[in-house]
Structure 1
Amino acid sequence: MQHPAQVPSEMVEALRESEERFRTLVQFSFDVYWETDAQHRFIRQEFANTLTDPPVSEIGKTRWEVPYLEPDEESWRKHRETLDAHLPFRDFELARPTPEGGKRYVSVSGLPVFDKTGRFMGYRGVGRHITNSKRAEEALRESEARFRTFVDHATDMFILHNEDSEVLDVNRNACESLGYSRDELIGTTPFFFDLELNAATWQRNREQLKAGGIATLESRYRRRDGTVFPVEVRMREFGQGGQRMIISLSRDITERKRTAEAFREMQAELTHANRAAAMGQVTASITHEVSQPITAMLCNAEAALSWLDSQTPHVGELRRALASIVTDANRAGEVLDWIRTLIKKAPAQKESVDVNNAILDVVTMARSELIRHGVSLQTDLAEVPLIEGYRVQLQQVVLNLILNAVEAMSCLDEPPRELRVSTTRNASGAILVAVRDSGPGLDPTIVNRLFDPFYTTKPEGIGMGLAICNSIIEAHGGRLWASANEPRGAVFQFTLPAERK
């Protein structure tokens, strides 16, 4: 054996350079290089600049298992079997305590070392600190646990789909609402329980979702027992791991539908009651409008009988008298039909409505009420197109606004008491109807509350007249509002979209 002093200098230099290269590699890597002896005691550890471990003084004393905190005893037992069998191992994860009382995680890989005779000498290997990734994994697990807890306790049905609509996951509420287990729902498509959805509608929704939008729709779901219930569905698409997925949140709206139906029925009752009350206020006008043609018919009939009794009947006069009777009978019939339509409870069908003619009919009915209160009425009706809507409901709105204006002006001690009803078209092409009065005007502090249900400034009022008017105009796609009139009084205006051709 060659004496160390006799080792050629070039070999020493080569060894030094090799060691330098090794240390440079270690310093710039993310790994720890280590060696153990046959008793699994550390005999060498080389650290990267950013890594630390036990002091150098512990080398030769510290064994694998001391003072590591993780993994559990069973994992350690299996790892000891590997070490005792002198087998290589890869990515064995350990946890060591830190001076601050925390944990530092290391992933270790090692190869057994044998001498020329085959005798086991120990292990050489590398270790990588994975504390940050472990913390990230733990944070992710905690986040997923929180998310699962939130999803499973949500009151909505949560359903996760892939791009092809296949169900990937559901929450507890979806299972309970549909009557299926989670395993039964996963792998199906929403067409399985959604009665309104098919492949075509799914693709249409996808187009909206791809643009980053949220699809909101109403549908009907069928439970396992065959019962059907209405739902509101909100869908959104997102990306995860290179895949596109769709979240669907569905809410049972059975109670909402029942409440809405009950509200519609109540509103219909209130609307009918409001019309009946308005009709009561114009009873004198109605009586006049009916009695006038009846009186005319009576006079013409008496004249016709007289001409028939004469020796030479006047056929021309008789014909004119009979024609007048027919005209007056039609007029009386129109008034009665208008009254019958206005006070009946059954909803009317939509029709093409001439707004100006509808307003003139209301003005005719309210004529006696206007005269009784000393109100002069002017109509300024421009040429406007037809609208699609409910004639009687719109007449109810105009009648309410006229009667409110008459009542407001009745408190004036001195004239003028002037009322003006006009129609025109606004900049957007919609029909604009305005009812202007010369009354005391509106209190600015209550203008925004005038259309609230049950809000009233009248001692005997219930506060539903203007609220009903507002709901009627909104149902026609328009808007109703109030403001000050010049030089005094108030103006109530509403818009109606023109009929599409």
Structure 2
Amino acid sequence: MLSEFQKTLLQSVKAFQSTQLVKNKYENVLQHLDSGIILFDSEGVLTFVNVEMAKLMELPRQSLIGCNLLQMLRHPHLSRYLKRKVIRIYRETFLYGKKFHELVDEYGRNWLITITYGDQMDGDFLLSVKDVSDYKRIEQTAYHNDKLAMLGKISAAIAHEIRNPLTSIRGFIQLLRPHLIQLGRDEYARIILAEIDRANDIIHEFLNSSKPSAPLKSVIDIPTLLGEVVLLTESEALMKNCEIVLSLPEDSSMTVSIDTKQIKQVLLNIIKNAMEAIEEMDAEHRGMIDISAHSEGELVYITIRDNGNGMDQNLMNRLFDPFFTTKEKGTGLGLSVSYRIIKNHRGHISVDSTKGIGTVFEITLPMVDSKSAVVGASQ
């Protein structure tokens, strides 16, 4: 009789130990997830919080266990910013019943908030927070590429059909010009020709943005390239009360294989935009455009920084979209063309900006070693 009892007790202990091992195993998995996890019971008391969530909240895990939502909000070490975020998440998920909610933090990172509850949770509420910034960037890149593909189809269909009648109109206006001069109306002909040329320039941008020509690469040193760009822009900059400063590291080899004309087009476009952003500031504002370059590993980084008007996050998100512009006479194609050119060079272009402070563009290009440079120059 006693042995049967001992046997049953031993089995119960083993079952308990097995259950505890399984529990510890799954808890360990939850602790090391890259998502923040927090669990409230049916009474609204916090019963579990993993390492990632405690890190996001910048609070020790043990100080959160056993708190309800109100006590958590009153935590002396919870920042005011995080309190606002917690209240917003509570409102969106619990009050409005949204099981999925997205928010952007002060650093521009995207977060996906998910809440799980119901019969399968036995009355508990599981809240998870995951950084989805990388997925958002991939999604935005795919969306941008879809737009460019659509632009290519449109341009192939209509661009040449527009150019042909413009060429005919231009020819007839030139034939009529002597008669207009006799009538004292040469100004009319000049304006018409200028507008036709402007329309042709827009169509040229349109075609380039949909399908920039394949790069005709040659080997060039980045300091040489940037020096030429500064020479092309510094006189216009001075006229617009801007100073262009070129900063380059000493004794640094930064050789790239690029289509010099195309990359110059990108750099000149960014510098022109910087001048226009500076013009939007107060007339007494002294404009500064800093151009620098440095190498890291097999990449060269070109940075163009201005102290112009800057832009907000919404504007930055659409900056490389075709046809998006804030200028009255802009086509919205300059930066989308630049994006395609850098992409065709296996590079990357990014922007960071603060309204009222300025904007920073960074272009990354792959470098070539001395052996590749010799091969590239001979081709």
**Greater strand content:** 1
**Greater helix content:** 2
If the length of structure 2 is used for normalisation, what is the TM-score?
Answer: 0.39
